[in-house]
Amino acid sequence: MPSGDRQRTWFPEMVAFLRAHWNGKMRLPQLIELRDHLDGMLHSIRSDRGIVPAVITCSRCGLTGHGSAERVSVRAMILSLARFGIASTEGVKALEKAWDQHRRNEQLDLYGRKRDA
């Protein structure tokens, strides 16, 4: 496994998929579907390549074990559009604001799912 893969969230094939499937006129539910697909790709890549989360030690109890698996949130996907030059910074800022308002109004979590009551 190449150095740094344990901490990596955005693999080249994920960025290529995002480039190919991004459309600036996407509605927020479509954006959530795209995030779902990218998150599935991330888990598949990590599984296929045998990449396990880094080992961490809990600061409270001292137990040592694997950290939680990386996930792609909707906001991370939105910010990656600017990071990888897929969308303009201004467009990403507007989309980020729209997502934040939609998430609050619909009571969604970071991944676009309804929050548990």
Q: Please tell me the predicted confidence (pLDDT) of residue 54.
A: 78
Residue 72 has pLDDT above 90, yes or no: yes
In the structure, what pLDDT confidence band is assigned to residue 4 with cuts at 50, 70 and 90?
low
User: CB of 89 within 8 A of CB of 105?
Assistant: no
User: CB of 33 within 8 A of CB of 22?
Assistant: no
Interval 15-58: pLDDT, tens: 999 999 999 999 999 999 999 999 999 999 999 998 888 788 98
In the structure, what pLDDT confidence band is assigned to residue 6 with cuts at 50, 70 and 90?
low
Q: Please tell me the predicted confidence (pLDDT) of residue 65.
A: 86
Mean pLDDT of 60-71: 85
Terminal CA-to-CA distance of the chain, rounded, Å?
41
Give the long-range contacts of residues 27-30, CB within 8 A, separation 24 or more: 28/98, 28/99, 28/102
Tokens of 81: 């559009």
CA distance 60 to 57: 9
Helix (H, G, I), strand (E, B) or coil at 61: coil
